[in-house]
Structure 1
Amino acid sequence: MDHLTLLLAILYVYTAPCEEIFWDTTVKLAKNMTLECVYPLADTVTQMEWFKIKMERESMAIFNPAFHGIIREAYTDRVYFSNHTMASNDMTLSFHNASEADVGFYSCLLHTFPHGTWEKVIQVVPPDNFEDAGPPNSQMVSEPGKNITLTCEPRENHLLEEVSWEKIQPQQIDLLISCNLSQGRNYTSKYPRQILSNCNKGMKKAFVTMPNVIGSDSGLYRCGFKASTGEKETFVMRLTVTNGETKNSYIPFVAGGAVLLFLLVILITTITVITYKRKKRQQKRGLFKDVWITQNRATNNYRNPFPPNPPAGGAGEDIYVNHPVFCLGPRARV
């Protein structure tokens, strides 16, 4: 009996490091990178800890709401909590000057009340091993607040054995759901957003539903599956959530055009009125000028009834002196 126990212990030691690790997110190695860890529920986070998964778990940082955070000595000045002061459920960890030594698996382990422990596993890979999504096979546009369902199915009418859904971003890939229908195992990722999916044995197509979509749900989604025939296929879909811009984007344009048209009408009306009044004033000035000239001519005729060189009068005769046209004074006696 003792020999059997010893044999089982030896087998456990040799097989434990080979245990399959399921990861929720794949991150591309970068000098400054971020490992996202957001608890999606409204529970109280009592404590959390970051580990690097090696032969044994290596503690990197620990955070307690009452005592705040501590960065372990090996990671001092290299990592920091990004947003814990803004949201108590956000334990995202950021790296400074990351290198190839930081490639590997990481665990974000939270202790919550009342649901207990919650863990998210992140894999950091070299840039050459990071998968690009490729061009999308289809596109979907939605307004915010809608319930969106993405569907994929094999080209041939075959049953599905394995199905996975992922969201593809430039620096990370988030696993949404993974189904092994042949073994009856389903793995739901720790994606910080509610995802509804089907994992039923005998299904011929797969779907994921996102209720009440918002702008941040926009992006590329990849569906991969293995059919009962062994055939594997991948489909990429692009989802665009408009944030209401498609529906209402023409309103500012129309309103702005109406304002410009109104200002143009006012400007044209003002110019027309000014021009009309100016012409009227010019016509009145011309009329007044004609009347003034006519009156002056009549006055000149009245002021000069005598020839330019009147005959000299004799003694006792009145002699009249002609004044200029602009002088309207009385006649002078000499």
Structure 2
Amino acid sequence: MDYLTFLLAILYVYKARCEEIFWDTTVKLAKNMALECVYPSKDTLTQMEWFKIKTLERESIAIFNPTYRVIIREPYADRVYFSNSTTASNDMTLSFHNASEVDVGFYSCFLHTFPHGTWEKVIQVVPSDSFETAVPSNSQKVSEPGKNVTLTCQPQMKWLLQEVTWEKIQPHQIDLLTSCNLSQGRSYTSKYPRQILSNCTQGMRRTFITMPHIMASDSGLYRCGFKASTGETETFVMRLIVTDGKTNNQSILFMAAGTALLLLLIILITTVIAIPYKRRRRRQKRGLFKEYWDTQNRATNNYRSPVPANQPSDGAGEDIYVNYPTFSRRPKTRV
């Protein structure tokens, strides 16, 4: 009997080590960190418990019951607390303070609900230096709150797709939104605390996610990943920007103010250029008119003067008199 128990224990250990743990969220280790666990349905929460998943067992961290309230296990009594443990809330987020390297690992948020039964979310805590940093986005989409938004992604590779995933990337954590195993035609039910619609069919070459009635909190980076049957991978990152009324009004005001300033600047530049030009034109006209007037005056004077202007004088300061012949008309006499 002992020998059989020993063999079963070895088999269990081997299975546990070979079995890959599937997690819903990756969190970067920090001195003060929060493991988010929000039940997306409106079912009644009867009891929940937090575990740390180890190789051979699950270590209980804390337990919450709406009637008996909260119990924190001894090793974690001074280091963890529930951020919002009320009977009316489905938010069972567990917060750490003074966290260290010993807190790296997998955690389970296990809920008992009525009438749908159990629900579990698995969270992986990784060291800060191994946390995956977000890459620049390949595209951008802007939308208003309350609308249905669809993000679409298509791979460039020609190989047969085996797996497709969608994730939301934040500075402190990465949430798995959907996971589709195309070889088995099976999709994963997301533990993300909002409704996500997606496609999962064998042979598909294009994937999408739809988020109905988006909010400002949905803004951020979204990544779709492809894995081919050959093992090759391909990823695309897109940014979603959800505006609000204040932002729109401010943008309109800024645009109107900018347009007014630009128009004022154009008028000012035009005025600065036009004034000197008009002054130049006025001076030119005055010069032409004066020249014409002087020419007319000289012509008139030459016509009226009987003496040439260059006729020499007999002496300095002496006038020259010219005697013109006079004619008298004598009266006729009769004979």
Q: Find the residue that maps to 1:128 and give its secondary structure.
A: helix
Q: Find the residue that maps to 1:249 and give its secondary structure.
A: helix
Q: Which amino acid aligns with 2:21?
A: I
Q: Find the residue that maps to 2:238 and give its secondary structure.
A: strand
Give deviations 1:252-284, integer Å, cap 9, x for gaps: 77999xxxxxxxxxxxxxxxxxxxxxxxxxxxx
Whether the 8 Å CA contact 1:158–1:204 is kept in 2: the answer is no
Whether the 8 Å CA contact 1:46–1:65 is kept in 2: the answer is yes
Q: 1:13 offset after TM fit, Å?
A: 3.9
Q: Percent same amino acid at aligned positions?
A: 78
Give deviations 1:37-88, integer Å, cap 9, x for gaps: 0000000000000001112001000000111101111101100000123852
Whether the 8 Å CA contact 1:49–1:109 is kept in 2: the answer is yes
Q: 1:187 offset after TM fit, Å?
A: 1.7
Q: Find the residue that maps to 2:188 and give its secondary structure.
A: strand
- TM score, norm. by length of structure 1: 0.71
1:180 aligns with 2:186: no
Give deviations 1:79-118, integer Å, cap 9, x for gaps: 0000123852010000010000000000000000000000
Change (3 A) 1:220 1:86: farther
Q: 1:3 offset after TM fit, Å?
A: 9.3
Give the equivalent residue in structure 1 for 2:202.
201
Change (3 A) 1:3 1:65: closer
Give the equivalent residue in structure 2 for 1:210.
211
1:93 aligns with 2:98: no
Whether the 8 Å CA contact 1:160–1:205 is kept in 2: the answer is no
**Aligned length, in residue pairs:** 256
d(CA) in 2 for partners of 1:175 and 1:196? 13
Q: Find the residue that maps to 1:33 and give its secondary structure.
A: strand
Whether the 8 Å CA contact 1:133–1:222 is kept in 2: the answer is no
Q: Find the residue that maps to 2:32 and give its secondary structure.
A: coil
Q: Which amino acid aligns with 1:215?
A: A
Give the equivalent residue in structure 1 for 2:228.
227
1:69 aligns with 2:67: no
Aligned 1:206-285 pairs, distance under 5 A: 206-228=207-229, 230-249=231-250
d(CA) in 2 for partners of 1:27 and 1:87? 26
d(CA) in 2 for partners of 1:120 and 1:135? 29
Q: Which amino acid aligns with 1:103?
A: V
d(CA) in 1 for partners of 2:6 and 2:32? 46
Q: 1:171 offset after TM fit, Å?
A: 0.4
Whether the 8 Å CA contact 1:82–1:92 is kept in 2: the answer is yes
Q: Which amino acid aligns with 2:34?
A: T
Whether the 8 Å CA contact 1:162–1:227 is kept in 2: the answer is yes
d(CA) in 2 for partners of 1:106 and 1:211? 30
- TM score, norm. by length of structure 2: 0.71
Give the equivalent residue in structure 2 for 1:327.
none
Q: 1:227 offset after TM fit, Å?
A: 3.2
Change (3 A) 1:135 1:251: closer
Give the equivalent residue in structure 2 for 1:329.
none
Q: Which amino acid aligns with 1:186?
A: S
Aligned 1:306-325 pairs, distance under 5 A: none
Q: Which amino acid aligns with 1:139?
A: Q
d(CA) in 2 for partners of 1:28 and 1:221? 18
Whether the 8 Å CA contact 2:66–2:87 is kept in 1: the answer is no
Whether the 8 Å CA contact 1:175–1:191 is kept in 2: the answer is yes
d(CA) in 1 for partners of 2:21 and 2:13? 16
Give deviations 1:188-242, integer Å, cap 9, x for gaps: 2211010001111010011111011000000000111023554311100000000
d(CA) in 2 for partners of 1:200 and 1:22? 21
Give deviations 1:118-145, integer Å, cap 9, x for gaps: 0000000001110012100000000001
d(CA) in 1 for partners of 2:47 and 2:210? 32
Misfit runs of 4+, over 6 Å:
2-6, 251-256
d(CA) in 2 for partners of 1:27 and 1:152? 25
Whether the 8 Å CA contact 2:32–2:99 is kept in 1: the answer is yes
Gaps of 5+ in 1: 257-334
Gaps of 5+ in 2: 258-335
Give the equivalent residue in structure 2 for 1:325.
none
Give the equivalent residue in structure 1 for 2:265.
none
**Aligned Cα root-mean-square deviation (Å):** 2.5
